[in-house]
Amino acid sequence: MAIAAEARAAGRWLGRTASLSRDRRWALIASYACLVVFAIMFLFPPYYMLVTSLKTNAEIAALTTNPWIIEQGITFEHYWGLLAESSFPIYFKNTVIVAVLVVAITMVISVLAAYALSRLKFWGSGVLATGIFLTYLVPDSLLFIPLFKVVGSLGLLNSYWALVLVYPTLTVPFCTWIMIGYFASIPKELDEAALIDGANHMQMLWRVFIPVALPGLVAAAIFAFTVSWAAFIYPMAYLYSDDQLVLTVGTVTTLIRGDVFHWGGLMSGALLAAAPPVILYAFLMDYYIAGLTSGATKG
């Protein structure tokens, strides 16, 4: 291939530079067109949710109006109803507590394990690294049944602490993998130097690895946050009272009353529930992208 390519390159080299900028312009236009299509595809459902959340109940129920725009005036009653007259703020608070704790627990577990698995190779470390990923093979839609006993015996039925207990099963394996990949990309010379300076492993992890791997940490933390923010089956199975529920389940159970759906409320609840992760991503996206892969891309 190299020879053929060289031949072609030699033939075209002179004419190439002239057309380059025009080619690039067309490529850019194609890219933007492509992006617009993707953006519409990704954003039209949230847009429709937003529009629905701002309509009056009568307009939502009406069949004669254009569903994609608001014809009979904007109302904030659904948002107001959620924030002022329902337990939504409590769900919000609970979700934040659970998500923050789970992120913290996940990071401690993952970072320790990833350091051990990537730097301190020991008998079985390879199997363990593969094995933790395999935990995803046992789906939460099955696990919640045997975990009834575990959660119940700890007295955590109907307590959001049950979620703090079980969510790490959803977050830890993937985060550990991100961290293994990241740690693997840190040059070995760095820890050898630290070891010679007399640092122990904890000190090395804390002073060398964590600062260097910060993007990886942020990426793992965001992943853990997103997953624990959106998890559905466990809270569905373990929580029922208003003071313990989290957003995903609380929004659904408050706003679907029997065979009556409060669409305006559901849509505003969904959008409000999406706000914190959106803000998080907006601020930390660069870290996220920088941290996700680093090590894992090699090869």
Partner 1 sequence: MVAITATDAGTGGGSLRRLLRRRSTIAVLMCVPLLAVVLGLVAYPAVYSLFLSMLNKAETKFVGLDNFLFLFKRETFWMVVRQSILFALVAVLFKALIGFIAAHTINTIPAKGQRKWRGMMMVPWVIPAALSTLGWWWLFEPTYSAINWLLAEFAIPAVPWLSQTFWARFSVIVVNVWFGAPFFLIMYLAALKSIPEELYEAAAIDGANAWQRLVFVTLPMMRNIIAITVLFSIIVTFANFDIVRVLTQGGPRNSTHLFATYAFRLGIESGDIPLGAAVSLFMFPVLAVLAFVILRNVRRRIQAI
Partner 2 sequence: MTASGSRMSRRRFLGGTVAGAAAVAAPYVKTSHSAGRLSVGLWDHWVPGANEAMEKICLDWGAANNVEITLDFITSIGNKLLLTAQAESRAETGHDVYSVPLWMPSIFRDSLEPVDDLVAEIVSRHGPLVGVADYMAKFDGSWRAVPAPTGSLTLAMVSRLDFYREHAGIDLQTIFPAGERDPALVATWTYDRFLDAAGKLHGAGFSFGAPIAPGADSQGWLGQVFNAFGAVLVDAGGEIAVDSDETRAVLDYLARLTGFMPEAIYAWDDASNNRWLISGQGSTIINPPSAWAVARRDAPEVAAQVWHHDVPKGPAGRFRTSVPFFWGMWKFGQNKGAARALLVDLNERAVVETMLRASQGFDVPLTVSFRDSDVWETATPPAGVLHNYPVRGDEQVIVAGYPAPPAIASQIFTQAIMADLVARVTADGEAFDDAIGWAGDELAGFMRG
In angstroms, give the least distance from the CB of 153 to partner 2.
7
Please give the residues from 24 up to 63 whose contact with partner 1 meets the rule CB under 8 A. Answer: 27-28, 31-32, 34-35, 38-39, 41-43, 45-46, 48-49, 52, 63
Which one of the spans 77-85, 96-104, 116-124, 155-163 is the region binding partner 1 (CB under 8 A)? 116-124
In angstroms, give the least distance from the CB of 254 to partner 2.
9
Nearer to partner 2, 211 or 258 (CB): 258
In angstroms, give the least distance from the CB of 238 to partner 1.
13
Q: Does 237 bind partner 2 (CB under 8 A)?
A: yes
Nearer to partner 1, 76 or 133 (CB): 133
Which one of the spans 74-82, 121-129, 156-164, 206-214 is the region binding partner 1 (CB under 8 A)? 121-129
Spatial neighbors of 81 by CB under 8 A, at least 6 apart, are 265
In angstroms, give the least distance from the CB of 241 to partner 2.
5
What are the distances in angstroms from CA 107 to CA 93, 151, 176, 214, 279? Answer: 21, 22, 8, 12, 21
Among 158, 159, 226, 253, binds partner 1 (CB under 8 A): 226
Among 138, 154, 190, 193, binds partner 1 (CB under 8 A): 138
126 binds, among partner 2, partner 1, none (CB under 5 to 8 A by kind): partner 1
Among 145, 188, 198, 211, binds partner 2 (CB under 8 A): 145
In angstroms, give the least distance from the CB of 101 to partner 1.
14
Nearest to 247 by CA among 264, 269, 267: 269
In angstroms, give the least distance from the CB of 227 to partner 2.
20
Nearer to partner 1, 212 or 290 (CB): 290
Among 17, 21, 66, 153, binds partner 2 (CB under 8 A): 153
Q: Does 142 bind partner 2 (CB under 8 A)?
A: no
Helix axes 88-119, 168-184, angle to 10 degrees: 40
Among 241, 282, 298, 299, binds partner 2 (CB under 8 A): 241
Q: Does 195 bind partner 1 (CB under 8 A)?
A: yes
What are the distances in angstroms from CA 198 to CA 122, 183, 184, 189, 193? Answer: 22, 20, 22, 14, 9
Please give the residues from 250 up to 289 whose contact with partner 2 meets the rule CB under 8 A. Answer: 252-253, 256-261
**Sign for the pseudo-dihedral over CA of 236, 169, 183, 96:** positive
141 binds, among partner 2, partner 1, none (CB under 5 to 8 A by kind): partner 1
Q: Does 120 bind partner 1 (CB under 8 A)?
A: yes
Nearest to 183 by CA among 144, 136, 217: 217
Which residue's structure tokens are 């072609």? 8
